[in-house]
Amino acid sequence: HRSGRILKTLTQRLKAKDGRFRHNLIGKRVNFSARTVVSPDPMLDIDEVGVPLEIAKELTIPVVIEKKNVKYIQKLIENYPDWPTVNYVIRPDGRRKKVAETNKKEIAEEIEVGYTVEKQLENGDWVIFNRQPSLHRMSMMGHRVRVMPYKAFRLNPTVCPPYNADFDGDEMNIHIPQTKEAQAETELLTAVATQMRSPRFSGPIIGPKNDYITGFYLLTNGDRSFTRENTVRIVRACDIDIEIPEKKTFTGKEIFSLFLPKDFNFEYGSKSDNVVIKNGKLISGTIDGRGISAFKGKILDEVDKKYGHTFAKKFLFNMTKLAIEILSIDGFTLSLSEHELNEKANKKIEQLLKDTQEFADNLIKDFEKGKIKLTVEKNSEEAFEIIIKKELAETLNKVTKIVKDEIPENNLILMAKSGSRGSIVNIVQSSAMIGQETVKNDRIKIGFHDRTFSHFKKGDKNMESKGFVTHGYKQGLSPFEFFFDAMNSREGLMDKSLKTRHSGYLERRLVGALKDLKVDYDGTVRDSGNKIVQFVAGEDGLDPSKIQKGGINVKRISEEIIGK
């Protein structure tokens, strides 16, 4: 090239991601779309998207003028330059006129039936919201516009799981349907309410997590009671019209029951107890992550099955408002002191580590003397590793039991118990010890001459030199422990990067191979030449997003028939 740039060969121009096919032919930049950062807004409805005013003024929807909407369109034109207004008017002969301050009155008088206007986005317009990578159909869903100030899209956090979105800088796209058909399909086929059940596992894929779960747990755990004032405050925060009984105090279970349908009967096992709901009343049990959450939420699943998507969407929205209000009344904080173990627990762990060290020292001596019993197809080195790994794993299990028994009930434990965030394993790693670090499922292998680090003796096989970490993150790790922990983390990062790339390429090849197949109206799978590839789609003809997950609950069905 005369500019000095290296010329591309013909094959380079065609192949790869930035080649002619993938960059210019299969994939293109599109009009009527916008992209910006996403931000959480729990006050938005489940199926709403907060659109910045700046974007709403720029993106348009074509509206054909009829007798019934001509006055409304004239008002919009006269509203220029304020939002909402009309950006362009298209005459029946195809000529376009841009609306401006100087000609708005003239255009408002000129328009008649048959004209088309390009109006700005308004509240209630349906748009398609998308987060890349678009790995399944719920990566693109229909949302109602809510025009708002500032420059980020806003999303109810309940809808994050299907998009796999979080708010650490993620960007998302909106696409504006341009025809009546596309608008109808967006509203009826892709709306968030219609996508609540996953086509992969038949369960709810949209639902609350983290703080919301904590709110439900705080409300229903034990015999919490609330004053009438607080109960009224909670109910008023939600989009629900119910009569509150004349009482001075209400239990958390009674407040939760106000939001359940009156004919709702359900029973399931939560993480800590059995949840029993009869005739719309929570009789016993604690609502946690297994009750109302994405993926695991059994109550949410049952409500969706029994009352349909529209009701389930409203129920879910009210539940999230309920959880937020509980947290705003109670508050929920976490401090560093909650990671502290008491003296008794620390002494028990200290003694346990001494015993483990003694066991390891004796095992090393036996290994050096050739006294280790060999198993089939294992040499003495392999047999030694199996025994010591088993002992170190047992030590970590014992430490976990000590932490479970001795750590006081606090907000850290509450989060793990409720299923809102973290687990007992995380608590053990922060409060007590991390345990054995592994690389490729083995203890840290020798890297230097007959040792893991040059700071250890040659041939050293003790716990410390092979990656056993006796401190937790709260206490801080020694330099050796930090390096071993980093080795384990680095392996995780490598795995994630390589597996994502591998599965992405595999999916792309599968899509390419199967792109001319479709499920026809008679339930067969056919190719583009109308040849039958499969007589019944999926061999059973069932759509997982339309069927009930799990076994048939005969007891509950019989109770509903009898009318108990």
Is residue 96 within 8 A of residue 160, CB to CB? The reply is no
**DSSP-based three-state secondary structure for 454:** coil
pLDDT tens digits, one per residue of 450-462: 888 888 888 888 8
pLDDT tens digits, one per residue of 288-345: 888 888 888 888 988 988 898 899 999 999 999 999 999 999 889 988 888 888 889 8
pLDDT tens digits, one per residue of 341-398: 888 988 999 999 999 999 888 888 888 887 777 666 677 788 888 888 899 999 999 9
User: DSSP label at 470?
Assistant: -
DSSP for 390-456 reads HHHHHHHHHHHHHHHHHS-S-HHHHHHHHTSS--HHHHHHHHT--EE-EETTEEPPP-BTTBSSTTS
Q: Residues of the chain with pLDDT > 90: what percent?
A: 44
Q: What is the pLDDT of residue 288?
A: 87
- Enter the tokens of residue 331: 């508050």
| pLDDT bucket at 500, cuts 50 / 70 / 90 | confident
Q: What is the pLDDT of residue 187?
A: 95
pLDDT tens digits, one per residue of 408-447: 888 898 898 888 888 999 999 998 899 899 888 888 888 7
The pTM of the whole model exceeds 0.75: yes
Give me the domains of the chain, ranges plus CATH numbers: 1-30 (no CATH), 33-195 (2.40.40.20), 211-330 (1.10.274.100), 336-490 (1.10.132.30)
pLDDT tens digits, one per residue of 258-297: 889 888 888 888 777 888 888 888 888 888 888 888 888 8
Is residue 337 within 8 A of residue 291, CB to CB? The reply is no
DSSP E strands in 347-478: the ranges are 435-436, 438-439, 442-443, 468-469
Average pLDDT, the chain: 89
